Chain A
């Protein structure tokens, strides 16, 4: 079901461990790389990380089961996370999550069935606060922001993803697959840093008001600074 960790992957795992003064610090990004190659945390991935770091498989397994981003079962090509922490939930996140569960026919943390003609699979999960409360309600796809969603926009979003229609993050690039995203989290650049805006509209609200009013921080006192 999942590809084996080939020599390139093992070399990259060693490379990650080599970034740190102590190799074990590389474990979290190494597990991200395992997910990128194998689509989930596999027993093979756990054994391989343990071997490279000289620790037990139980220690690696203890780490892999602690963090919610590590998946023991495969997710979809596009993993959709609906924020249902209080603020987003109140602003409509609960309604979005219910609509998507119904629309996709899945429960929390499940992959929707691939239908004839689908170009990609979608999985659904409710997530905790993703630090975008000024864009509530927020949906994440493969950990990219989809700001200010509604039940209608969210169903359109998952329909587009399944149909293979390109979707752009509201504050980032065209969405990549979950495995590609995991590779970036493991520390390998994908050349997309320059895509998307500097900031979304809400991030700039205060700055715009300051510009309109001519407000600035105080000028530097003479003789101080540069």
Chain B
């Protein structure tokens, strides 16, 4: 049914490689008992009894693990930037503010197996010599907050957290911190300001958080999936992790398929799988429809088209195609979807979520929405069309690279990429009558009802 790549010698490798998702179908998988029954916390016991902190940093470096929150920075290298001679306390902060449109991997992970993250936090904190860690989870996911808190309570009761963990002399406190609704808090320095009880606005760098982060102390900030990958690396070794994936993009990741596909959901695979392979696994696009455009890693990553179906989904290949791997949030849209409507909605989001600190982003996203909205309704003259598209690109140019943080850059991605691939569709909105698409045809129930009739 599936065509796996046959570039490696020996036995055909598995197309999907569940590690983080492997226990999600276990009975009461979120509990300490279930997690330990599946081998959980063995990596922690091993580390505390046999590994020095620097050995864990080396393992994570050697594994090739790169940040799973979108930027792809090497995790072990980030940890090694913590100046151990700095007299201030060191902190680990987990970015669990998953809010990038399309991204939906960390929430199910924390819901199904919060102990994977907690064990990763303990191992990572031990490695960077932090005695205080925080999980900053977005506030809009009540049940995830419950499961995280329960997991932390269980971990304290079992002696995995607290003073002198398992007789190692190592102390760690872990606080679950719920946010209050702000996309910008997924930006690491805005997250730190928010965690300090302020408006979540990004900070100027340098200094980087590794030197002056939380409370101006050395701080590592990592994504949920990155930290959750650490127990498997400590348990199985760096070589095991690096045996999956590609030359420069090593290991397994969670790919999240959503939109007009037969089986949306979470697919855990080595880095480098293609969208075509993922779609084949899930039965393809919904019946009678074809792929039109997609995001590889959330709305801040430039749109791609069917011509990119066979591109390996790793950091390098997606970058070479002019986009970014991001969070592997594969939002799939078929030919019923108006790209102008899609882009306008994303821009309304960026405008709403712009923190207001810097002018290019605050004003630029506002102007983009003004022009996109008029364009979508067909309120420009046809002979103005090309000029308006140039204006949109010019407005993007005034944001990209000039904003304080990546939010502004991200906001330009859907605009520039959609104009690149769908110029004619923009102009078709000016042929009279506004948007030529029927939104009803794109809904989840359009096909179901079509089949019934």
Contacts and interface: CB of A to CB of B under 8 A. Distances in A.
A7 B240 CA distance: 56
A32 B15 contact: no
Interface string B413-453: 00000000000000000000000000110111100000000
B226 interface: no
Nearest to B262: A205
A185 B143 CA distance: 10
A217 interface: yes
Interface in A10-57: 19-22, 24-29, 31-32, 53
B87 to A, nearest CB: 15
A187 B148 CA distance: 11
Given A205-B264, A207-B21, A68 B181 contact: yes
Nearest to B449: A150
Interface string A79-97: 0010011110111101100
A189 interface: yes
Contacts of A192: 143, 146
Given A21-B215, A91-B443, A133 B132 contact: no
A225 B25 contact: no
B349 A95 contact: no
A104 interface: no
A2 interface: no
Q: Could you say which interface size class chain B belongs to?
A: 35 or more
Contacts of A76: none
Interface in A188-226: 189-190, 192-194, 196, 198-211, 213-218, 220-221, 224-226
B381 interface: no
Interface string B159-200: 000000000000000011111111100000000001111111
Given A130-B141, A193-B147, A194-B31, A204 B265 contact: yes
B373 to A, nearest CB: 14
A140 B181 CA distance: 13
A198 B29 contact: yes
B16 A209 contact: yes
Nearest to B153: A189
A135 B265 CA distance: 8
A218 B145 contact: no
A216 B108 contact: no
Contacts of A9: none
A84 B345 contact: yes
Contact of A184 (B17, B30, B98, B142): B142
Contacts of B333: 90
A127 B175 contact: no
Given A90-B439, A134-B264, A205-B267, A225 B200 contact: no
B28 A198 contact: yes
A172 interface: yes
Contact of B176 (A187, A202, A206): A187
Nearest to B256: A134
7 contacts: A63-B197, A63-B199, A144-B142, A198-B24, A203-B266, A204-B266, A224-B236
Interface of B: 2, 13-19, 21-22, 24-26, 28-31, 42-43, 46, 89, 98-104, 106-108, 111-113, 132, 138-143, 145-147, 149-150, 153, 175-183, 194-200, 215, 235-237, 239-240, 243-244, 252, 255-260, 263-269, 281-282, 299, 329, 331, 333, 337, 341-342, 345-346, 349, 352-353, 355, 439-440, 442-445
Interface of A: 19-22, 24-29, 31-32, 53, 62-63, 66-70, 81, 84-87, 89-92, 94-95, 127-137, 140, 142-145, 148, 150, 169, 171-173, 181, 184-187, 189-190, 192-194, 196, 198-211, 213-218, 220-221, 224-226
